[in-house]
Structure 1
């Protein structure tokens, strides 16, 4: 009974985290209208670093200090995963919808899998290749808005392609993190990644503050970036790490597939975006491909126990 209650609590927490992550697409869309991607990236990572740094110091005790051999790891994760991804992410939302961006971003696990097969010698079966193709078709279908003729005329949304570039960088970041976590631990790695990102972006953000109207845009864009820093970044990350420790990465990752669905619903409510049939078809293809790809062994061999 206690075990079931614990699992239910974790599932509810993961659903809450999923809402936070989905809300990031809405908040980012609201923020990019008034603030530059440079300022948004600096503020999101800077606020998150200020919050999570003391937590790391308390939890890790004497092990919180950064070692010399860890600096290059953190530089890589901050430049690729935080600066690279977020600059593409915020720029993309200037040209595309929050729903499109979230659906394209849902292909991240599959892009990560392809990179892992190329650079980490992880095997991809023919069935998984089929799922990769299915997800690719789903992304293309969303990008062309369900109109095959747009491929011939090249009337495409550049924001979708920018988001795809960001998703690719996030996948590269995932490969780096997978190798770095055993060395540094997830909390220390994430904290210093946030911190280094903010420090690197600081001079560019100061320049952006000085050359734009960032001080006269009102409070709403700043509320949006504070939300992104606290809820999806710090709280969402903490919930995810707790869930992984309790129920394993495979079960925890299932909830991430809800993000494009929830973000699309939120985009309709708060941004007055419209859901078209091509959104539903493309999202179904992508989410199905991700679930089957990552859990095909579980789906096929139901009679065997699975270790997360």
Structure 2
């Protein structure tokens, strides 16, 4: 596989993640952990079929249990936080704050050995967090305090995924097939969490069921496999810059689907987050 082709495959994940917020909103009233269980079961099943057809189970048996623990913790933690955030806060606001992860990936990467945190990283961080502040404060000091827990969970979501992604870069020798088991274990872990903390609420409409299936096949399924291929075999800098378009695309999709209004504050916030992340990426390239 050529570097250019791998980069193109990885970019598919960016397009799929732009649909994560709208499918999550449309899947209501399914609670977060149940949604985790359903979607990751679908994503894990897709990967498991591919592993079986390719005869790769023996290879996965050689992967350290620590890798599976790490991958499962990253996927389970991120999505439990993400789905909960979108249930407790407006999907556009929560989604945009959660999409600070591309910027945090750049900043955290600068703290790795042989890397430097440059001035552009700091300036980019200020611009993007300014966009996040604009989202929270766009209605002044009278914004709904009931949404605060969801916005906090969205911020933790960004920290979780950025940490997972940066550490994953040090696991380049782990085959992409392992992502299938990450998904399966995440689904299994979500079941007891749902039974303990939530009331079972199944999708009530055909649209909600289709949204759950779409989540499992796309943003919570195929996206993780193609992203893994891209970051391990493609141009990681190009993919990093491309991922910064996801919050803007996600917001536009939410507006088109009727889950958010096209206010100037919301669009400006999306632009600031994207601009700040791009500034940080340029600093890394320099």
Q: Same fold (TM over 0.5)?
A: yes
Work out which of the residue numbers 206, 209, 228 in structure 1 matches 2:215.
Answer: 228
* Residue 49 of structure 1: how far off its partner (Å): 0.6
Work out which of the residue numbers 51, 70, 77 in structure 1 matches 2:71.
Answer: 77
2:35 match? 40
Residue correspondence of structure 1 range 21-36 to structure 2 within 5 A: 21-31=17-27, 33-36=28-31
Q: Could you report, residue by residue, the CA deviation over 1:181-216 in whole angstroms, capped at 9, with x for unpaired residues?
A: 33x23x13322211211222233345679x5343x7
Residue 128 of structure 1 contacts residue 293 of structure 1 at CA under 8 Å; is this kept in 2?
A: yes
Q: 1:73 to 1:10 in 2, by over 3 A?
A: closer
Residue 85 of structure 2 contacts residue 151 of structure 2 at CA under 8 Å; is this kept in 1?
A: yes
Distance 1:44 1:222 in 2: 11
Q: Could you report, residue by residue, the CA deviation over 1:69-120 in whole angstroms, capped at 9, with x for unpaired residues?
A: 61122112212x2221111111111132332233223321222334344565
Name the count of aligned residue pairs.
285
Residue 145 of structure 1 contacts residue 278 of structure 1 at CA under 8 Å; is this kept in 2?
A: yes
More displaced stretch, 222-231 vs 116-125: 116-125
Q: 1:120 to 1:41 in 2, by over 3 A?
A: farther
Distance 1:28 1:52 in 2: 21
Asked if 1:201 is matched to 2:190, the reply is yes
Distance 1:288 1:247 in 2: 23
More displaced stretch, 166-175 vs 104-113: 104-113
Q: Could you report, residue by residue, the CA deviation over 1:140-190 in whole angstroms, capped at 9, with x for unpaired residues?
A: 12121263x469x979743222211111111121133122333x23x1332
Structure 1 unpaired stretches of 5+? 301-308
1:305 match? none
**Structure with larger RCO (C-alpha < 8 A, sep 6+):** 2
Distance 2:273 2:129 in 1: 8
1:303 match? none
Residue 16 of structure 2 contacts residue 219 of structure 2 at CA under 8 Å; is this kept in 1?
A: yes
Residue 144 of structure 1 contacts residue 156 of structure 1 at CA under 8 Å; is this kept in 2?
A: no
Residue 34 of structure 2 contacts residue 194 of structure 2 at CA under 8 Å; is this kept in 1?
A: yes
TM-score, normalization: structure 1? 0.78
* Residue 59 of structure 1: how far off its partner (Å): 4.1
Greater Rg, structure 1 or structure 2?
Answer: 1
TM-score, normalization: structure 2? 0.84
Q: 1:227 to 1:156 in 2, by over 3 A?
A: closer
Work out which of the residue numbers 99, 109, 112 in structure 2 matches 1:106.
Answer: 99
Distance 1:47 1:66 in 2: 22
1:169 match? 160
Residue 14 of structure 1 contacts residue 255 of structure 1 at CA under 8 Å; is this kept in 2?
A: no
* Residue 228 of structure 1: how far off its partner (Å): 0.7
Asked if 1:65 is matched to 2:39, the reply is no
Structure 2 unpaired stretches of 5+? none
Q: 1:46 to 1:143 in 2, by over 3 A?
A: same
1:115 match? 108
Distance 1:9 1:22 in 2: 20
